[in-house]
Amino acid sequence: MKLAGFLLLLAGWLIVLSTLALLHSASAQTIFLLAGIAVECLGLALVVRAHLVLSEARE
Amino acid sequence: MTSLGFSESSAAFCFLLILLVPLAGAGLTLINTGLGRSRSAAHAMVASLGVIGVAAIVYVAWGFSLEGVAGRPAHVILGGGKPWNWIASEPLCLRGVQFDGSPVSLSVLLQIFAVGLAALVPLSAGADRWRLGASCASTVLLAGITYPLFGHWVWGGGWLAQLGVNYGLAHGFVDGGGASCIQVVGGLTALSIAWLVGPRRGKYSHDGMPAAIPGHNVVFVLFGCLLAWLGWIALNSAGAILFAEVEPGRAALVAINTTLFAASAALTAAVITRSRFGRPDASLSANGWMAGLVASSAPAAFVKPAASIVIGAIAGGITILAIEAFESWLAVDDPGGAISVHAVSGIWGLLAVALFADFGDKSGNSGQWLAQLVGIATLLGFVLPLTYSLNWTLNRFYPQRVDLEGERQGMDLHELGAGAYPEFVVHSDEFIQR
């Protein structure tokens, strides 16, 4: 789960980079940039969840 | 890098400002020490000296060759028909730098202090359980890879700084005082360390409830805040002059704004803790003060004083909430609140540039929003996985957490062989009547 979360973080960043390189209209850039950040948020949530499970297991 | 010709008086003024920046490091060191336990106080101070030293040596030997300065040799690739400046190509050990009072030489000096500041931040999150050798080894990775790479993109004329020129996003990613490359990079590294070393023994009960482990010296913490204030004024002013093309004459505005950021954030934190606990909490108010300073780093040179009060107040509020969220809901044991103060508040400061900055031209702030969001997305999507994976790899070969016996003894006795406060030990024979 942790690895998947970090991969999602990277994937979100790559969406942001691709948006800059491939799209030129401001509205399309905004939408895809926000989509990239949303993917990153999902990844962050997964990483946080993985560490919560780990800390519960430690207890 | 400023395109303005640097007069001798401007260079001297900038040099004096840079010489005050280590006070920010002194302040952070005192705060980290004061918020930790008394049995790890000497260890916290020695670790601070250690990571500052390691960061300076690694940065001079290797880091600067990756970070560089805007307008100097760099590796550029073409993507979507536009140049993407990824990494500098300076010689090792500062061999290509002329120390003649030029902006380049001043930038190198400021960067050496800045990387030391970034290295101090994770110490707070790993307090009372992060081994001395491991913290120095982790600093090698921070000062040699993470910091210079992201620093080049922001302060070295890299692709984030050029978003305005290449993609029409207003002024590109703006960060005059290092909110991103110092504070958020340090804060995300602190998060990685807190995850990797786990919570202190006794911090969480079996049902997951956090126990309060108060800092051992609030006077250290509050004096550290005052030292950091002066250091931050210098850092924000020198950074804005060297990296954001701000006229040296605006340093007074930067100093006023930095003060207002810290003041409103600390007062907000005090009011929130007063309303929740019945009395203002000293250490959380200090965290609020530091959060205001961190939030000031990106926008201090570009906002009006009234906006500084608003941004600072929000920084103080979100930092107090973030500290509680990390401790209670996310089970992250961060004794000094470094993740909330440096990462969360730093990100808010970067967003505040898009919300409140007035660059005095007609480019508008819509493109600035996108540029700041790209920078924040890079911090979360690239820097966090990078710093976590580097420290995770280090942890596989060189365990970062002290063993159980060391944690019970305290880091001072276990790693240094002597405590910070030997006079505090009560000897039974002192009570025998002679």
B1/A contact by beta carbon, under 8 A: no
Minimum Cα–Cα distance from B329: chain A residue: A52
pLDDT at position A27 over 70: yes
Q: What amino acid is encoded at B302 in this protein?
A: F
pLDDT the model gives residue A24: 86
pLDDT the model gives residue B241: 95
Nearest CA-CA distance, residue B377 and chain A, Å: 6
Whether the Cβ atoms of residue B332 and residue B322 lie closer than 8 Å to each other: no
Q: Which residues of B touch A30 (CB under 8 A)?
A: 370
Q: Which residues contact A32 (CB under 8 A, 6 or more apart)?
A: A15, A16, A18, A19, A23
CA separation, residue B236 to residues A53, B296, B297, B427, B431 (Å): 40, 8, 6, 49, 54
Q: Which residues of B touch A17 (CB under 8 A)?
A: 79
pLDDT the model gives residue B4: 47
Q: Which residues contact B111 (CB under 8 A, 6 or more apart)?
A: B59, B64, B67, B151, B155
Backbone torsions φ then ψ of B7, nearest 5 degrees: -75, 165
Nearest CA-CA distance, residue A32 and chain B, Å: 11
pLDDT the model gives residue B361: 73
Distance CA B291, CA B342 (A): 7
SS3 B263: helix
Q: Which residues of A touch B370 (CB under 8 A)?
A: 26, 29-30, 33
Nearest CA-CA distance, residue A47 and chain B, Å: 10
pLDDT at position A47 over 50: yes
CA separation, residue B321 to residues A33, B28, B267, B272, B390 (Å): 27, 21, 15, 10, 29
Q: What amino acid is encoded at B384 in this protein?
A: L
Whether the Cβ atoms of residue B95 and residue B19 lie closer than 8 Å to each other: no
Distance CA B92, CA B200 (A): 40
A29/B contact by beta carbon, under 8 A: yes
Distance CA B30, CA B28 (A): 5
Distance CA B362, CA B350 (A): 20
Q: Flag if B381 and A59 touch (Cβ within 8 Å).
A: no
At what angle are helices B41-58 and B132-141 packed, to 10 degrees? 30
pLDDT the model gives residue B1: 42
pLDDT band at A59 (very low <50, low <70, confident <90, very high): low
A27/B contact by beta carbon, under 8 A: no
Element housing B77 (H / E): strand B74-79
pLDDT tens, position by position, for chain B (434 residues)? 444 467 889 999 999 999 999 999 999 999 999 999 999 999 999 999 999 999 999 999 999 999 999 989 899 998 878 899 999 999 999 998 999 888 999 999 999 999 999 999 999 999 999 999 999 999 999 999 999 999 999 999 999 999 999 998 999 999 999 999 999 999 999 999 999 999 999 899 888 889 989 999 999 999 999 999 999 999 999 999 999 989 999 999 999 999 999 999 999 999 999 999 999 999 999 999 999 999 999 999 999 999 999 999 999 999 999 999 999 999 999 999 999 999 999 999 999 999 999 887 766 677 899 999 999 999 999 999 999 999 999 999 999 999 999 998 999 999 999 889 987 765 555 555 55
A57/B contact by beta carbon, under 8 A: no
The pTM of the full predicted model, rounded to 2 decimals, is 0.95
Whether the Cβ atoms of residue B277 and residue B242 lie closer than 8 Å to each other: no
In whole numbers, what is the pLDDT of chain A averaged over residues?
92
pLDDT the model gives residue A54: 80
Mutate to test the interface with A, among B363, B380, B388, B393 (most CBs of A within 10 A): B380
Minimum Cα–Cα distance from B330: chain A residue: A52
